[in-house]
A and B are shown apart, each in its own frame.
Chain A
């Protein structure tokens, strides 16, 4: 057992659901107790999704515990098949169902006989993998299923597209700024004269998965989701893949050069150097920013970085290599990918931390006393407590990290966004510091907060006690309204009863 208050990566089934519900017309059925369908709330609230999340639960209750699910799971699958005609239903085990050890594969096989759509059992072990690993595995599983299905039917296209083309693999729902990144990547591909063959899983149809081999190569922008699929496609079809995250000026250039070498190896003669130079000098402002005196002022400032492997590694490199900021430590909660992370950031920071215990991370921040933090929502809160500004660069995230405005982290526009994020974090910190030195803004305390003795009214003990229960930000208003109410009625002592009578009268 582990005492835990907060976790950075969710349970396995969340990963499966993220992949399943990213596809078009794929439905996931969770084998889970009541209340485990919290994923629907997250998707509906965080993504502000207009459509019903295609996830339902085959509820595990007392009866199921006593007699097994029997027909229930099969019925739920065939019912959903009839109601919504999904192309694919993914039966999703949860922590509960994995200890029940029911033969879910058998349910899937039986349901498949009656369903028009396909039915799959997500192959993830709840106690061994987390959300990110499960998402990676589920995507690979679905791709493999449809490739094999097409192969069996003999309609697997084998030719490459005429023009150079790419599959973008790993864009998913509830991913950090994923939809903006996707737009930016498509734009980048267009600029490079590369057609986008398929984007998976977000917005993709499973019917199109058989077309994946038509692309010349795969681009996997995030370390956490898509690598397994890319590896599978490489094994099966010898498709090369680019797994350099185009985040930051240097890495974006590296990514484009890798694409260039892959395409040239396949017989096209492309040279992107001029494009890289134009973009770097004229589209992205990041290169200019690093020369400007603003950035000069950041030289040697201390920062710490923490997040998933992709974002923490990329931001660390940007801070150290592109802005001259000293990264005291860089860390990730992706323990399973520790080796890669170490290799990526070791030369750009003083220390590497691989840990998913938020308490230890908080302590490490306090110890380092950085001028700015780049982390998840949890680190933002640590920053609040320690009075250190924080830029959020990675999930876990809140609704404010699903901006409506265009905010990619990838590609050349991404470099601009990151400059703003980093610069704003530091200046705010600086401003705060100066204010402290010079004794704050020129405001004297204008409004007396709390209970002062400046009124002619008498408050009884219980009245005061009740008043104190009212949240601070409205207490003043409630107090004024109550006193007015009492004065109007000639009440001399304000008791709890008077307080609430006033509330009823004026809605104070």
Chain B
């Protein structure tokens, strides 16, 4: 152990059996339908898919969500019914009831297996009913949880408009003009002049609107103008993308989207760590600045100030260990942030590791470990939950970040857990939300502090055969 500590090592990657618990990628509809306000998501699958969505989303389902199942019946599977006619019937019903600006078809395992040609049918039906139909194959055969968003955004990339002529641009800006109504022309002009002259930059990744504002403002402080977000609040507001435009991701699970942006739209990808934690946010901004030849101002102070405000929470976790079982692909960034907070991390489980898309994040992780003098975590791709539980039993980490299937059983065995899905739904990006991450991470530890000395940590009897 001492030998390993003394020598700088490279991160080790392992791949296990893929027997792990995660959410089905179709779960992305629940946050994407809320993000893209004029969309309707149609999941083409079976009762199993529907039951998952219904149970995973709890109360949301009652709020008349803009998503539904096209539930396949036996006649659909055996091709006794005509897929095209069936989908047309349902989409017309959706058009009548909800009148969305776009219908997103989510292909599932079943449509894959029966080889339903969604991509082929969509353009035909789109022309017939007059609503854009975007096809995303977010199925459990190929993807895990958050990767669902990746497949949807990659499909959306194709729908982004190209360079808009100046005249039209004026029109597109009609809304901002409206907002600027009553303000003097010079004022608007000075606002424009606050930005450095740089090529267009588009950010990709779905974030809650307040976080979009925060990150946009953060870049504005460096004179960087965000010309658009993929996705935008409305389908009609998808950002224009042209050859040579710069793009940067805000989430670690967007590798297909990044690839599509580069290959299909000839955009230039800025490979940066992700703006999760103050360290990540600073590195993200610095990388964008460096690409545009800007010297960032006030970043170091800003980061220091945020760290200072986190100190009360960091005190609770410093020196403690955290184990990621892995299910949402945020694991590398969160581990890097928590190691910077003074935690140690023996293992980072992750469903899928794109070493190219996450290269800068991995480099920052390595650097963070060196600077903090902590050993590098083992990164386990496609983990095996059973094996992981054996390792957890052996290591007795102070905190296990895991899915709900394991949380209660681990708690009953005296292992403190944090439910990982919360990180997907909470606001965790940028300087402003660093505290929210720690709020989540420390919650079980604060709970432990308030309940200590009750002697109830372990509630199950030791297994006789262990």
Enumerate chain A interface residues (CB-CB to B < 8 A).
Answer: 1-7, 10-11, 13-14, 32-38, 40-42, 44-45, 48-53, 56-57, 59-62, 65, 76, 83, 94-96, 99-100, 126-128, 130, 378, 381, 396, 398, 461-462, 466, 469-470, 496-497, 500, 503-505, 507
Contacts and interface: CB of A to CB of B under 8 A. Distances in A.
A14 B86 CA distance: 27
A65 B431 CA distance: 44
Contacts of B87: 1
Contacts of B139: 33
B230 interface: no
B132 interface: no
Most buried by B among A44, A57, A96, A128: A96
A189 B408 CA distance: 34
A5 B22 CA distance: 23
A504 B309 contact: yes
Contact of B140 (A14, A36, A45): A36
Contact of A100 (B56, B61, B113): B113
Nearest to A467: B210
A45 B110 contact: no
A3 B48 contact: no
B109 A1 contact: no
Contacts of B143: 34
A42 B55 contact: yes
A5 B142 contact: no
Contacts of A53: 405, 409
7 contacts: A3-B71, A3-B90, A33-B139, A50-B460, A56-B19, A500-B217, A507-B309
Contact of B68 (A5, A52, A462): A5
A143 B24 CA distance: 33
B18 A34 contact: yes
A59 B382 CA distance: 11
Contacts of A51: 409, 412, 460
A40 B69 contact: no
B52 A35 contact: yes
B385 to A, nearest CB: 8
A36 B210 contact: no
B325 to A, nearest CB: 13
Contacts of B52: 35-36, 38
B76 interface: yes
B359 interface: no
Contacts of B142: 61-62
B408 A99 contact: no
Contact of B404 (A32, A34, A41, A504): A41
Given A48-B408, A128-B74, A497-B217, A3 B46 contact: no
A393 to B, nearest CB: 18
Nearest to B385: A56
Contact of B61 (A3, A5, A42, A59): A5
B144 interface: yes
B51 A10 contact: yes
Nearest to B413: A50
Contacts of B44: 1
Given A11-B47, A53-B405, A36 B113 contact: no
Contact of A466 (B213, B306, B404, B460): B213
B418 interface: no
B432 A35 contact: no
B405 A41 contact: yes
Given A53-B409, A130-B47, 4 more contacts: A3-B69, A50-B408, A95-B46, A496-B217
Interface string B304-330: 011001000000000000000000000
A44 B404 contact: yes
B235 interface: no
Contacts of B19: 56-57, 59, 76
A96 B24 contact: no
B69 A500 contact: no
B25 interface: yes
B386 interface: yes
A369 B220 CA distance: 55
Most buried by A among B20, B21, B210, B404: B21
Interface in B399-434: 403-409, 412, 431-432
B69 A127 contact: no
A1 B72 contact: yes
Contact of A44 (B89, B93, B305, B405): B405
A60 B140 CA distance: 8
A503 B432 contact: yes
Nearest 4 pairs between A and B by C-beta? A35-B24, A33-B140, A40-B405, A50-B412
A37 B405 contact: yes
B81 interface: yes
